[in-house]
Structure 1
Amino acid sequence: MNVFNQLSIWLSFQLSIIFLIGIPVILFFWSIKKRNKAVNKLLSIYWKISLLFFISLLLLIGNYSYGLVITNISTILMTISVWFWNDINDEFKEYDFSYYLITMTKIWRWSLTFISLNFLILSLQNFSCFSFINSAECAIWLQPSSNLYIIIKNLFNFFFGANFTQPIAKFLGLFSLLIYTLGLIQWSIIKLPKNGRNSCFSEYGRN
């Protein structure tokens, strides 16, 4: 793996932290302050979907062979979740650029789409890492999760006086993945046929 590829992967992870976590947190509290139901509902759904991203980090910490596959699935689902809802999209169209919360949310949606696509392209360029994440050439993909592992390990030791190991991370990741998958299947079978692409954000009245 050349230096340029390593730098691209490192930069992609840094941008992911900003646009997948940092900016949505800001927009979420901003929407609460402005009492904007559409943005608030969009981000509430987004955070539920984004749990898979955090699960994938646990799997990468545990050196799970298919951790990178789960990471890419999570970013794709997160991107779909911010474009999927017809009622929210229609609501956004009613605002002009002077309403900064909606404008920033629109910019963030496009940025998220670009970052997810870029992450997928980088992953496909290192296709062998989809199933052999523990190989030497895939070490760069584990670096961000390794840094997170150190933080979680120290916190775990501090609060519980126990050692947080990679096998524990893998077990928690796989267990969480099972629960998440069951929840997603339940939503697909029960709620999706009932509501379709309607998020029901205006169920209790509009702004």
Structure 2
Amino acid sequence: MQNEVWLRPLVWMDYRLAVLFTVIIPLILLIWAFVQKAEAIQRLLIIYWRVSSLLAISVYLLIAALPVGYISGTIARILIPIGLWFWIDLNEEIDDQFSGALKLTFNSWRWAMTVYSVLGAIASIPFLRCAFVSGASTNPFCTILREPPLLFREYFHPNSTPQFLGFLGIVGLIFYFICLGYFVLFKLGKQGRSALPQ
């Protein structure tokens, strides 16, 4: 019970920060980059949206109390900083070709997102046990992490069952890892750390 008292506000704060850092700011930056015709920043942000879609998938999995949602959420927080810094060609192009408010704001967000993701991955480690404990869907410690996704469901999917939303999450997860597997097994060896095909 004491764990719930201090843990619940932290979980809700994390979800609020997630909305700010993973949705609102990168969406503004993407629109800004299109207006400024900053192609390297556009490409990196599009890669970011592809990688970070695992966070959204995790929300749907947690709505349905599917244990894999605890794991996928942690994996997403690890993959996001990798996706933001992995590409040598985009990093060099951004450093060499851009200056001004967009570059400063983008790089500030990228560093903040990296710190937030790393701290979030560390903080989510205790919740990984929820993926392997029987009855996690009713365990008070594990259900705290599901409260914000359930509120999301109330706002955006009030007429959909958790089972249906969980099914969408599973389909999304399968598609995500097929794409990730294809990239790692086939494209990474050819492209290396270049975002553009060689």
TM-score relative to the length of structure 1: 0.86
**C-alpha distance in 1 between matches for 2:131 and 2:84:** 26
Taking the TM superposition and a 5 Å limit, the aligned residue runs for 1:5-154 are: 5-94=7-96, 99-132=100-133, 133-134=136-137, 135-154=139-158
Aligned residue pairs total: 193
Superimposed CA distance per residue, residues 26-61 of structure 1 (whole angstroms, 9 cap, x where no aligned partner)? 000000000001100000111111221111111011
SS state of the match for residue 156, structure 2? helix
Change (3 A) 1:38 1:55: same
Please state how far the C-alpha of 1:170 moved relative to its aligned partner: 1.5
Partner of 1:171: 167
SS state of the match for residue 157, structure 2? helix
**C-alpha distance in 1 between matches for 2:64 and 2:4:** 25
Please state how far the C-alpha of 1:75 moved relative to its aligned partner: 1.9
Please state how far the C-alpha of 1:2 moved relative to its aligned partner: 4.7
Change (3 A) 1:121 1:166: same
**C-alpha distance in 2 between matches for 1:130 and 1:11:** 22
Change (3 A) 1:130 1:153: same
Point out the more displaced range, 61-70 or 21-30.
61-70
8 A contact 2:33–2:42 mirrored in 1? yes
8 A contact 1:49–1:78 mirrored in 2? yes
**C-alpha distance in 2 between matches for 1:48 and 1:61:** 21
**Which of 180, 186, 207 is the matching residue for 2:182?**
186
Superimposed CA distance per residue, residues 70-99 of structure 1 (whole angstroms, 9 cap, x where no aligned partner)? 011112111210110001111232267x51
SS state of the match for residue 200, structure 1? coil
SS state of the match for residue 64, structure 1? coil
**C-alpha distance in 2 between matches for 1:14 and 1:165:** 24
**C-alpha distance in 1 between matches for 2:128 and 2:80:** 22
**C-alpha distance in 1 between matches for 2:51 and 2:33:** 18
Asked if 1:198 is matched to 2:194, the reply is yes
Structure 2 unaligned blocks of 5 or more = none
How many percent identity over aligned positions?
31
Point out the more displaced range, 18-27 or 143-152.
143-152
Alpha-carbon RMSD:
1.9
TM-score relative to the length of structure 2: 0.89
Please state how far the C-alpha of 1:149 moved relative to its aligned partner: 1.0
Structure 1 unaligned blocks of 5 or more = 158-163
Superimposed CA distance per residue, residues 157-187 of structure 1 (whole angstroms, 9 cap, x where no aligned partner)? 4xxxxxx111111111112211111111111
